[in-house]
Amino acid sequence: MTCNSHLWTVLLLVCCGVGTSDARYIYIHPFWVWIQPEDVSVVSVDTKRDLNGRLHHTNQFKTDAMVVRRGQEFLLDVKLSTTFDPSLHSISLELRTGSRPNTYERTLIKIPMVKYLDKIKWGMRIVGKSDSTLQLKINIPARCLIANYELRIVNNLRKVLYTHKQPVYILFNPWSTEDEVYMPNASHLEEYVLNDQGVLFQGSANHISPLRWYFGQFEKISLESAFALLSTTKIRERDTARDISRRIAALVNSNDERGVLQGRWGSDFTGGTEPWAWTGSPAILEEYTKTKQPVKYGQCWNFCGLTTTLLRVVGIPTRAISNFNSAHDTDGNCTYDRFYDQNGEFLSRMSRDSTWNFHCWSDAWMERPDLPPGYGGWQAVDGTPQERSNGRYQTGPAPLRAIKEGNVKLKHDVRFLFAEVNADTVYWSRLSPDQEFRPIRVDRKLIGQNISTKAIGREQYRRVDITEDYKYPEGSALELITSQRALHLTNNKIVSDTVDDLKYSLYAQNEVMVGKDVVLRLHIKNTAVNNRNVQIMVGGHVLTYNGIAIKKLPMRKTHEMVHRQTDTYHTVSFAASQYLSLLKQSPRLRFHVFSSCSETSQIYVTETIVTLGRPELVFEQLPSYWKKGEELRFTVRVQNPLRLELTDCVLWLDGNIMESRLSLPQRNIPANSFHQVNIALVPQYEGRKNMIVTFSSKQLGGFRGSSFIDIRS
């Protein structure tokens, strides 16, 4: 360029390719001088909560924060201090999470302005303008880190123009084919991601009863708690659905990292809440957040409810599972071993394995790229602290296919879960103290019965049997092959079936209501061609629901001649007084028959479990619908089935009809009588709402009831 040295010639140039598109220089002979781009400020940001919520299936979350799902675009309206001119102004977005955000760990995300959005990359583009407001569309790639982020708007010099007050939560997206938790069935998504009401199942294999649970994944406390827990986790331990589900399994219990809930399976719940008094996850999370201490106390269904809630919060499709006659294999040999001495006494010190009448855990839906092809889909995840896995009390995720096929070496904890649903029960005994214990009977059908989950549908609370998701039909060739594979991989030997010409069965004549005597029916079948002289011993124990013996019941002994090829029946009774003092432990009764034959030296053992039923709480004077914002009054009827007074009585009310759980202390309830509880509340939300009530006292707890009501504007 030629310039008169005596003249100042000023030339304004826009330098493309140097700095950013709005970089400006001024030429004042003989120098180029940098001129700061015209600054712009951000007046406000509209996160389009309702629109984004509908598009991302997050509009049910009770929060003012933005909640979106990865693998999808969302919209923002940004109001500036002046009309946006791309030749003069520059803005971009940043998302930051954690104490030290950085691009390497993907905790610092810089979102550039682009002409076209690429679904596998971060990017934003202007899709509309209105005066000084920009309408932006932002793409979230499907491999984005699941986290709560701080949203910033910056200029080209990284100067912060705006920081959003509320966090931005980014969840898994089971609606996106690019996401590892993609689930193609719409009704399954509605149930396993969006349904905040559920039911678990409890009792015994012969007497299954529903247990309503409020998952409440859209409550503000559930959302904030899930991400607060994940924020304590290293990034490498929360990079995939597998990682996150495993961490949540560890963090819902307090055994290692002072997580949410402290387990207790005894009778003393002093200083805390009895496990059966909890009816939903939000109430537990509220107490945990308030006290900053593990909540006292929980048992398996509480851990299952919490795990299901937290996994649904972050967007992983999850269902709650109940397994009946669930084995706890302590030595990892994939069998459930029971030892009896020659006198028919159960040897608890040798029988370290146990069975839970029922045990609850969660199934989470995800891909498993860390395993051979075909092991994606449902994965068992259990937050109940039973055994350590990699140094922590956590179980899963374990592919259901691996459990079903006995591939017990696959990750994570397939061996433990296989035993829970498919271990052979091996009874061991001996004829005299100087002999070795030997297997006397194998029961291949006891463990893993009626594996259950809730039917699909918001108001479908019926039980669906999914046992065949976990195991092949009992007695089938495939089931035998599976057991042999599991035992081979654990260096255990399969125990052959014994041939017995005397067979016994023991069962309760009816479901036993708490406070009543237990009447057992003993059936003896002699298939031999000769008569048999047998010694029969019937005994039992009072158990906690997870199979721990807390009291021995008196042994009944008899000698009998059982005639050839005949059936003989006996009735055996045990008085209610044998278990009444232990009702606070929600006990079950396990009875066994131990028999020895003098002619053949055969020993036979069989067991049965009796669950004690409780009266259901009954709603009265409850209308089918009510008006939002008006006081609703109704009553709940409580029955005392015992021949003694109930004291220190409390009724709890929970559900999505209310902001938080109510605790209502009650007067003493006389023996064998009814009591009415008057309740008044003001519904604040419209829609089909659920109420769950539970009752407890010093002497007896675990009474439950539930009902629906339509709340209208």
Residue of 144, 300, 360, 649 marked catalytic: 300
The rounded Cα 478 to chain-centroid distance in angstroms is: 30
| CA gap 627, 480 in Å, rounded | 59
| CA gap 257, 611 in Å, rounded | 34
332 within 8 A of 408, measured Cβ to Cβ: no
| 300 labelled catalytic | yes
Answer yes or no: is 443 a known binding residue: no
Q: Which residues contact 45 (CB under 8 A, 6 or more apart)?
A: 76, 77, 78, 79, 151, 153, 162, 164
Cis (ω within 30 of 0) for the bond into 162? no
Residue of 382, 413, 469, 501 marked catalytic: 382
As a whole number of Å, the end-to-end CA separation of the chain is: 76
Longest dimension (CA), the chain: 133
| 710 labelled catalytic | no
Helix (H, G, I), strand (E, B) or coil at 558: strand
Answer yes or no: is 253 a known binding residue: no
The tokens of 461 are what? 């609370």
363 within 8 A of 381, measured Cβ to Cβ: yes
Q: Which residues contact 202 (CB under 8 A, 6 or more apart)?
A: 208, 209, 211, 301, 322, 357, 358, 360, 545
User: Which helix (DSSP H) or strand (DSSP E) does residue 484 occupy?
Assistant: helix 477-489
Helix (H, G, I), strand (E, B) or coil at 375: coil
Q: Which of these, 57, 35, 295, lies nearest to 192 by C-alpha position? A: 57
Q: Which of these, 288, 317, 316, lies nearest to 302 by C-alpha position? A: 288
What are the Cα distances from residue 337, in Å, to 349, 353, 424, 482, 594? 12, 6, 8, 19, 16
Answer yes or no: is 465 a known binding residue: no
Please report where in the chains the tokens 């009863």 appear, as a residue: 209
Question: What does the buried/exposed string (b/e) look like for 453-490 if buried means 16 or more CB atoms within 10 Å of the residue's CB?
Answer: bbeeeeeebebeebbebbbbeeeeeebeebbebbbebb
| 359 labelled catalytic | yes
| CA gap 188, 206 in Å, rounded | 28
Radius of gyration of the chain (CA): 32
Residue of 359, 412, 541, 675 marked catalytic: 359
Ordered strands of the 502-508 beta sheet: 502-508, 518-526, 566-574
Answer yes or no: is 46 a known binding residue: no
Taken in order 266, 270, 274, 275, the sign of the CA dihedral is negative
Residues making up the annotated binding site for Ca(2+) are 422, 424, 474, 479
Instruction: Report, as residue numbers or ranges, the catalytic residues.
Output: 300, 359, 382
Annotated binding site: 422, 424, 474, 479
